[in-house]
Structure 1
Amino acid sequence: MSMKQSEVLNLLEWSGAILKGHFKLTSGKHSDQYIEKFRLLENPIALDQICSSMADLYKDKNIDLVVSAAVGGILLAGGVGRYLNVKHIFSERVEGKMLFKRGFNIDPGQKVIIVEDIVTTGGSINEIIELVEQYNAEILGIVSIVDRNDKLKIFKYSYETLLNFPAQSWDEDECPDWLKKIPIKKPGSTGKND
């Protein structure tokens, strides 16, 4: 059974994943809150609960493959794949572009779900969607642990999240003065906006 949003929030708080300060997100936006997903993912009990809840959303969909992006998504996709008893593969960013490496492949017609950790703008997911579509696979859905945009319609496929966490974020030129006074931290990096 999928976790309630309050249970996911409690797990994030318990694991110390919700940070306060001035953060530059992977999307390039600035925020006063950051979710350090690895505080959650490093705990096997929490990881198992999250993956079980994600898999539960698709248990009756006859999924063939779980796809994610490196790095945080690898743990999630592996766990979700284990619960659904299917393979998982991940994309990697090479010279600014999402690619499948390591001999990963998708067969035409395979039923795929895309797993993500934190969604802010949806940019990385949309890149993965484009990549998966090149293989003529059938994307049955997208699922994330956290959606910072309150599930805005940013994907053309069905989208589920375990937790809506609509934290404010601003473009650099719109960053409020009070936040500019706090030193910027840039936790984690996908190489997307380095």
Structure 2
Amino acid sequence: MKPYQREFIEFALANEVLKFGEFKLKSGRVSPYFFNAGLFNNGKTLGAIGGFYAAALEDANFDYDVLFGPAYKGIPLVCATALALSNDYKKDAPFSFNRKEKKDHGEGGNIVGTPLKGKIVVIDDVITAGTAINESIEIIKQNKAELTGVLVAVDRAEVAPDGTGKSAIQAVEEKNNVKVCAIISMDHIMEFMEEKGTYADQLKLMKEYKVQYGIKKD
């Protein structure tokens, strides 16, 4: 685990974005942890999350011309990431996002910001069912641009309920021949808990959950 990943977990815990307990997911599974990126909802936390995304983006080494943030949650994330890249890495990263409904006056269209041209990296919070990311990929194709990477906050690394044995992220990677990276994964969270040594009960539940629902790695 890299320093920025450890710092991200500590930051998420301090702001109650990452919690341990019992959480019923949309899939019906009862998870021993929950990550709610919607709680990055003020200037301080948004500025910090931009720094973590920027660090992960640099780590992923994606080739890109434009960063794209899907409406709605991806919009503040892509803005914060571009700002952090400028401040921390002196990189000018053009970015854009989409409207849910096309505008038929003014400049028109459904893309706000830099035109979607060249190589595109999508910045979003999570991939669950894959619906939102598939919409983004379709928008990128419609603009005749090329998707070269996807960056999200957390990879839960658990099999989807569809019986394929693959996670939502693996399904997106295989379907689109693109790499999906995350700031942290469930394994990073468990590694952090091991290091701290104060999460024995929660860690036991995390390990049991991983055995039951975790993806099988080659």
TM-score tier (shorter): 0.5 to 0.7
Q: Do 1:81 and 1:88's aligned partners in 2 also have CA atoms closer than 8 Å?
A: yes
Cα RMSD of the aligned pairs, angstroms, is 3.2
The verdict on how the C-alpha distance between 1:23 and 1:134 changes in structure 2, with shifts beyond 3 A counting, is same
The verdict on how the C-alpha distance between 1:31 and 1:87 changes in structure 2, with shifts beyond 3 A counting, is farther
Q: Deviations over 1:77-117 (max 9, x none)?
A: 112223141221123445xxxxx626557354x11100111
Q: Do 2:97 and 2:111's aligned partners in 1 also have CA atoms closer than 8 Å?
A: no
Q: Do 1:146 and 1:165's aligned partners in 2 also have CA atoms closer than 8 Å?
A: yes
Equivalent positions of 1:18-167 (< 5 A) are 18-19=18-19, 20-23=21-24, 25=26, 31-32=30-31, 33-40=33-40, 42=42, 43-57=45-59, 61=63, 63-82=64-83, 83=85, 84-94=91-101, 101=110, 103=112, 106-108=115-117, 110-150=118-158, 152-155=169-172, 156=176, 157-165=178-186
Deviation at 1:165, TM superposition (A): 2.7
Query: What are structure 1's unaligned runs of at least 5 residues?
Result: 95-99, 168-194
> Which structure is larger by alpha-carbon Rg, 1 or 2?
2
The verdict on how the C-alpha distance between 1:73 and 1:60 changes in structure 2, with shifts beyond 3 A counting, is closer
Once residues 141 and 40 of structure 2 are traced to their aligned partners in structure 1, the CA distance between those partners, rounded to angstroms, is 31
Once residues 60 and 53 of structure 2 are traced to their aligned partners in structure 1, the CA distance between those partners, rounded to angstroms, is 11
Bigger RCO (CA 8 Å, 6+ sep): 1
Q: Deviations over 1:98-147 (max 9, x none)?
A: xx626557354x11100111222322112211211111112111111112
The verdict on how the C-alpha distance between 1:121 and 1:31 changes in structure 2, with shifts beyond 3 A counting, is farther
Q: Deviations over 1:148-172 (max 9, x none)?
A: 23564122211111111389xxxxx
Deviation at 1:52, TM superposition (A): 2.4
Q: Output the TM-score relative to the length of structure 1.
A: 0.65
Deviation at 1:74, TM superposition (A): 1.4
Q: Do 1:41 and 1:47's aligned partners in 2 also have CA atoms closer than 8 Å?
A: no
* Letter of the 1:39 counterpart: L
User: Comparing both structures, which one devotes a greater share of its residues to helix?
Assistant: 2
Q: Output the TM-score relative to the length of structure 2.
A: 0.59
User: Comparing both structures, which one devotes a greater share of its residues to strand?
Assistant: 1
Give the aligned length: 158
Q: Do 1:5 and 1:163's aligned partners in 2 also have CA atoms closer than 8 Å?
A: yes
The verdict on how the C-alpha distance between 1:89 and 1:29 changes in structure 2, with shifts beyond 3 A counting, is farther
The verdict on how the C-alpha distance between 1:15 and 1:92 changes in structure 2, with shifts beyond 3 A counting, is same
Once residues 59 and 77 of structure 1 are traced to their aligned partners in structure 2, the CA distance between those partners, rounded to angstroms, is 17
Query: What are structure 2's unaligned runs of at least 5 residues?
Result: 86-90, 102-108, 159-166, 190-218
Deviation at 1:17, TM superposition (A): 0.7
